[in-house]
Structure 1
Amino acid sequence: MSDSTNNKQREEDDYVPYVSVKQRRMEKLHKYATQRRLAEPAPRPEYEDEEPSTAGPRSGMSLLDQTVEQRRNNTLPEKTEEEKRLEEEKKIEDAQARHKALVSVQEAASGVLYTEPIKTSWEPPKYIRDMSEEQHMQARNKFHILIEGDNLVPPIMNFRDMRFPEPILEYLKEKKISKPTPIQVQGLPVALSGRDMIGIAFTGSGKTLAFSLPLVMFALEAETRLPLIKGEGPIGMILCPSRELARQTHEGLCLMADKLAKGGFPHLRSLLCIGGINMGEQSDVLNRGPHMVVATPGRLMDMLTKKKFNLDICKYLCMDEADRMIDMGFEDDVRNIMSYFKSQRQTLLFSATMPKKIQDFALSALVQPVVVNVGRAGAANLDVIQEVEYVKQEAKMVYLLECLQKTPPPVLVFAENKNDVDDIHEYLLLKGVEGVAIHGGKTQEEREFAIRSFKEYKKDVLIATDVASKGLDFAQIQHVINYDMPKEIEDYVHRIGRTGRSGKTGVATTFINQHCSEQIRLDLKHLLREAKQRVPPFLAAMDDPSEKYGLAGGCTFCGGLGHRINDCPKLEQQRRQQMGAIMSGRNAGDRADF
């Protein structure tokens, strides 16, 4: 036999099949474990009558088996349903808390951290400064004002003691504002003193004045010291979630500026930055330098990117309806806008609905903030009579005509989507009702015409989506009709808050049926109870887990009282959107690779 044949035969005899690295490692571990068990002596009992241990690290039982054995012997107490739910909620809240802080990218990257609030030249009158903290607390308790923070600013009960100039006091008198509302009693001094602030108060309580008046005062002081020239400004800025709210705030600033100019003070210029309008019409304000800017995030980012103006000397930033702005997806825009600031700014956040998760999120951007709270965040205005009626889907349109007879015009009707708004508008016009409609699908000219004609009482009914639910002030509205229940209880609170404003009483009628989710009906049931309103039988009869298991307290994510964070529909929707964004990004990547 040849040598080559012998070598081949030996190779076949020595052949060992391929074994993966993972399998070899597992076999080695198994071998070591076997050797260790053989080498260790069996545990002996200390006394002959004592049985060997059946639990513990040297028992020879797996940890899983030990846990089962201990539970069988009742050595480990079973957790209650409440404890399990609380643990689960804590995990969800911790996951939400890991969200990025609301600070600019540059500040986060460079590690800039402001520790002291901005100093201003304003201070309360001496007699108020000399009062004790107990006296200040008595004043706050009188108006049910809750305040949190360090080095608290005292409340002030009248506008004159807030040191406003005479033209501003005349302006307030013309507007029939004789004394500050609770949020203004505490909010105005806090803002005027330069402190960062979270302001929470029910709809129609005068929040807009609480943040726009300080901006006018800061702009006036800056212009008096050193007039602005081309390329400078603004001194301060207000961000709003909708165009209509931004225009309303801008008009208020312009009225105050005109009143000051007539009183012999320098003329202040306000710039409106919203989508759908021609910025060329405001070229004069841009060229001379705006003192104040009121904007929606999208158009403001566009203006800053194109360097139409800068925020080099801007020291005041207010976000109106702050929680809604973040919920609507403007969070990254707000963070990008903050990166245009060159120095520390005073930041104020105002809303009627400010869930704890938004407060915690916002606190990351504020310096020694003061939280001013008038009533529970997300609570309904107590001046609104809430009537909830069960109406079948097909009967809504006809019943709407009956509801319009409850009060004289003007009346505001809310619907969830654009098609319903258009259908209701067309139906009411056919029935001879003078109405106008507004939603995101209409042009800016159509939206402005609708709001203007409704405010001037040329039209009796305004039909709208939630674009008109946040912040808009219609002084004479006595009746709000929810053609359908919104998906979130916060939207409901904002909707009904269009009536019952400035101390007046209003009525809110809401159509509800089985098309509404169980969670929103439970939230509504608890909201009605909290406001001491009549709860209709079909809501009262609902099976309520919070009553059944004693899980009171509401959701810490959205503020709804009828559910917990484990069952929060808003959180679930947010997760779906995030997952959708991730999947669409992956699909786009796959298409690009292809």
Structure 2
Amino acid sequence: MEPAVKRKYRQEEKEESSDEDDYVPYVPLKDRKNLNILKMQDLLKRKLGNKSDSDRSRNSSPDRGAVASTDISSCARAATPPVSGMQPSVSLLDQHSNLKKQAEVVKETAKDLQLIEERKILESVTEARALQSVQDLAQGITYNTPLVTGWSPPHFIRERTQQIHDKIRFHLRIDVEGQNVPPPIRSFRDMKFPKPIIIGLKKKHIRKPTPIQTQGIPVVLSGRDMIGIAFTGSGKTLVFTLPLLMFCIEQEKKLPFLQNEGPYGLIVCPSRELARQTHQVMSYYAKHLEGGGLPSLRIALCIGGIPAKETVNIIRKGCHAVIATPGRLMDMLNKKMMNLGVCRFLCLDEADRMIDMGFEEDVRTIFSYFKGQRQTLLFSATMPKKIQNFARSALVCPVTVNVGRAGAASLDIIQEVEYVKDEAKVVHLLNCLQKTSPPVLVFAQKKKDVDDIHEYLLLKGVEAVAIHGGKDQEERSRAVDLFRTREKDVLVATDIASKGLDFEGIKHVLNYDMPDDIENYVHRIGRTGRSGCTGIATTFINKSCDSSTLLDLRALLIEAKQKIPEILEQLGPAEENFMELGGERGCTYCGGLAHRITECPKLDAARSKQISNIGRQDYLANNAADY
């Protein structure tokens, strides 16, 4: 034990003596920094060599001097205050700007990585199969050139420079994408419409085209495929109905339609009410053409709830155009009651809603009945990037015409959001009806709520009608006609009345409940504030509403410069840029403004449902194999 103790003592004694020998006096921090700078200067001088060599190198290659000064300045950043007599080569202001630029570069790199990730997600959720007919996909048929029509812009418009066309588009806030885009035309007369059409437009108090019509109608008349995006009430229906009438007149003059021949044009709508409204618009202008001495046109309505015999009778006489819903159209095509052999014009109205509602396979099947190339048009007020990319697979050299942002609400609508508990909604609804004079449109999510609201309003003496998917077509048509002719003051409906329907003079839209999708909200409130008129939209919300939808609603209100209620302000800090990144606002999957596709709740729900269905299908398949 003693030797070990002695060795330990000697070792400690040796360590104490070594510490005393290596003792260094304390140097202040400022002096240490200055010493480090001097050491760095000496090290740089050794690398650069003697003075003559350094002068020669400085004269021959001035970049080395810049590198040296940069290295010295980087070492001197920590030295505050600098060494006396030493002049830093880079000022503090320049250093701050350089650091700021470096931070921006790092930030831009993070944005680029996020954009790459979002593109990958968007590609993974986009339908792999093209929106084309089965025959075209099987045979590999592709069309590279658009259809050629007999229409061309007036000579004085063709002579305008591209700068003038761009100036007109900028003034009207029109964004276009595509090659060789036809020029915008700001007069119906310059679009070469016949006099009966001009007279019919004036009777409807339409004297000049809206922005979507200014650019959209020349594109359609030129035979180009088109994606048209504009806010509700902007006149999208005339963009595809008027050119179709001109094409039908042209075909009838060249070679009259015989029995069982046609149609030349097909318009597909997601709801019966929208199909009926489009049919009425086309029939109105067709009668004016006939009254002006032009050939009569036969336009068929093909929707559920009415006898198919009425449609077949028109087709047997030789049909020029058909307005249809997907279900009845598929039934008639399968039963060979209709033939699309000579059809060269196809329009999908509210295309994104149609695809989201599950009509995607029906649309692809409808394409397979065409016998040749067609002109395809897609129109909607809300069309996320996912739908646009998917729809382009069905188009040939498409032109995208966008007036405003896709999914944006009209600025002519005053949006009011009120917090109302579920049990107090019906009573508060009656008070809100007094905000404006009739007509008023009330939306509810469930059919039962529509019936309850309708019954309550009737008991209170309000002249009201109601429509939803559970009612037969005759009752639905009668309710819409009574409301359109002002015989009834209030129309209570589900979302079947929110897409494309045009009721003249709607002063007020009431949302009894907040829809699950912000796009449905935009379509609902778009029934008012149409054709340049102003309107009010009141929406009831409470704690039962989905938080992600409320965040999208708040972003939509901020974009439209509307008053933000306190309950929405409490959800969290508002995004000033509306989640803008890479030129795209919000989510490219669902169109929401308050999130990106990486955090889309709708996409997460769709993926979860898909995963659960896969598991269920495997389970059912295994059980079927056992039996």
With normalisation by structure 1, the TM-score equals 0.84
1:239-290 deviation line (CA, Å, top 9, x unaligned): 1010100010011111111111111111101111111110212343121121
Q: Does 1:282 pair with 2:314?
A: no
Equivalent in the alignment of 1:330: 359
Structure 2 portions without partners, runs of 5+? 1-105
Q: How far apart, in 2, do the equivalents of 1:578 and 1:299 lie? A: 29
The 3-state SS of whatever aligns with 1:509 is strand
Q: 1:185 aligns with which of 194, 207, 214?
A: 214
Q: How far apart, in 2, do the equivalents of 1:426 and 1:314 lie? A: 46
Write the mapping of 1:553-564 to structure 2, written as runs, cut at 5 A. Answer: 553-564=585-596
Structure 1 residue 360 displacement after superposition: 0.7
Gap change, CA 1:222 and 1:451, over 3 Å in 2: same
Q: Does 1:566 pair with 2:598?
A: yes
Q: 1:464 aligns with which of 479, 483, 493?
A: 493
Q: Is the 8 A contact 2:555 2:575 kept in 1?
A: no
Q: Is the 8 A contact 1:546 1:563 kept in 2?
A: no
Q: 1:372 aligns with which of 390, 401, 409?
A: 401
Q: How far apart, in 2, do the equivalents of 1:587 and 1:442 lie? A: 37
Q: Is the 8 A contact 1:153 1:190 kept in 2?
A: yes
1:338-377 deviation line (CA, Å, top 9, x unaligned): 0010100001100000111111111111111111010000
Q: 2:324 aligns with which of 292, 295, 319?
A: 295
The 3-state SS of whatever aligns with 1:318 is strand
1:193-228 deviation line (CA, Å, top 9, x unaligned): 000000000000000001111111111110111011
Write the mapping of 1:72-91 to structure 2, written as runs, cut at 5 A. Answer: 86=115, 88-91=117-120
Gap change, CA 1:293 and 1:586, over 3 Å in 2: farther
Equivalent in the alignment of 1:171: 200
Q: How far apart, in 2, do the equivalents of 1:242 and 1:575 lie? A: 27
Structure 1 residue 568 displacement after superposition: 1.8
Equivalent in the alignment of 1:387: 416
Q: Is the 8 A contact 1:82 1:551 kept in 2?
A: no
Q: Does 1:238 pair with 2:238?
A: no
Gap change, CA 1:151 and 1:430, over 3 Å in 2: same
Q: Which amino acid aligns with 1:468?
A: A
Write the mapping of 1:167-566 to structure 2, written as runs, cut at 5 A. Answer: 167-544=196-573, 553-566=585-598
Structure 1 residue 230 displacement after superposition: 1.5
Q: Which amino acid aligns with 1:377?
A: A
Q: How far apart, in 2, do the equivalents of 1:548 and 1:203 lie? A: 24
Structure 1 residue 106 displacement after superposition: 0.7
Structure 1 residue 90 displacement after superposition: 3.6
Q: How far apart, in 1, do the equivalents of 2:410 and 2:527 lie? A: 10
The 3-state SS of whatever aligns with 1:371 is strand
Structure 1 residue 574 displacement after superposition: 3.0
Q: Which amino acid aligns with 2:271?
A: S
Q: How far apart, in 2, do the equivalents of 1:550 and 1:436 lie? A: 41
Gap change, CA 1:224 and 1:580, over 3 Å in 2: farther
Q: How far apart, in 2, do the equivalents of 1:150 and 1:572 lie? A: 36
Q: How far apart, in 2, do the equivalents of 1:217 and 1:592 lie? A: 56
Structure 1 residue 584 displacement after superposition: 5.5
1:387-418 deviation line (CA, Å, top 9, x unaligned): 01111111111100110000001100000111
The 3-state SS of whatever aligns with 1:191 is helix
Q: Is the 8 A contact 2:302 2:311 kept in 1?
A: no
Q: Is the 8 A contact 2:458 2:464 kept in 1?
A: yes
The 3-state SS of whatever aligns with 2:562 is coil
Structure 1 residue 173 displacement after superposition: 0.9
Q: Which amino acid aligns with 1:231?
A: N
Q: How far apart, in 1, do the equivalents of 2:316 and 2:418 lie? A: 55
Q: Does 1:147 pair with 2:147?
A: no
Q: Which amino acid aligns with 2:598?
A: N
Q: How far apart, in 1, do the equivalents of 2:609 and 2:423 lie? A: 31
Q: Is the 8 A contact 2:297 2:320 kept in 1?
A: yes
1:515-571 deviation line (CA, Å, top 9, x unaligned): 111100100000000011111111112124857997864111111101121232322
The 3-state SS of whatever aligns with 2:190 is helix
Q: Is the 8 A contact 2:233 2:527 kept in 1?
A: yes
Q: How far apart, in 1, do the equivalents of 2:455 and 2:348 lie? A: 36
The 3-state SS of whatever aligns with 2:492 is strand
Q: Is the 8 A contact 1:545 1:551 kept in 2?
A: no
Q: How far apart, in 1, do the equivalents of 2:550 and 2:345 lie? A: 40
> How many pairs does the alignment contain?
518
Equivalent in the alignment of 2:71: none
Q: Which amino acid aligns with 1:199?
A: G
Q: How far apart, in 1, do the equivalents of 2:442 and 2:257 lie? A: 44
Q: How far apart, in 2, do the equivalents of 1:498 and 1:396 lie? A: 21
Q: How far apart, in 1, do the equivalents of 2:507 and 2:589 lie? A: 32
Q: How far apart, in 1, do the equivalents of 2:337 and 2:179 lie? A: 39
Structure 1 portions without partners, runs of 5+? 1-76
The 3-state SS of whatever aligns with 1:161 is coil
Gap change, CA 1:435 and 1:97, over 3 Å in 2: same
Q: How far apart, in 1, do the equivalents of 2:211 and 2:319 lie? A: 31
Percent identical among aligned pairs is 61
Deviation larger for 271-280 or 547-556 = 547-556
Q: Which amino acid aligns with 1:367?
A: V
Q: Which has the larger radius of gyration?
A: 2
Structure 1 residue 84 displacement after superposition: 7.3
The 3-state SS of whatever aligns with 2:491 is strand
Q: 2:125 aligns with which of 81, 96, 106?
A: 96
Q: Is the 8 A contact 2:578 2:594 kept in 1?
A: no
Q: Which amino acid aligns with 1:240?
A: C
The 3-state SS of whatever aligns with 1:162 is coil
With normalisation by structure 2, the TM-score equals 0.80
1:471-508 deviation line (CA, Å, top 9, x unaligned): 00001101000000000100000000000000000000
Q: How far apart, in 1, do the equivalents of 2:455 and 2:332 lie? A: 38
Q: Is the 8 A contact 1:184 1:206 kept in 2?
A: yes
Gap change, CA 1:586 and 1:441, over 3 Å in 2: farther
CA RMSD of aligned residues (A): 2.1
Q: How far apart, in 2, do the equivalents of 1:557 and 1:590 lie? A: 34
Q: Is the 8 A contact 2:184 2:214 kept in 1?
A: yes
Deviation larger for 86-95 or 153-162 = 86-95
Q: How far apart, in 2, do the equivalents of 1:348 and 1:274 lie? A: 20
Q: How far apart, in 2, do the equivalents of 1:380 and 1:550 lie? A: 17
The 3-state SS of whatever aligns with 1:475 is coil
Deviation larger for 91-100 or 464-473 = 91-100
Q: 1:107 aligns with which of 132, 136, 153?
A: 136
Q: How far apart, in 2, do the equivalents of 1:134 and 1:551 lie? A: 28
Structure 1 residue 181 displacement after superposition: 0.4
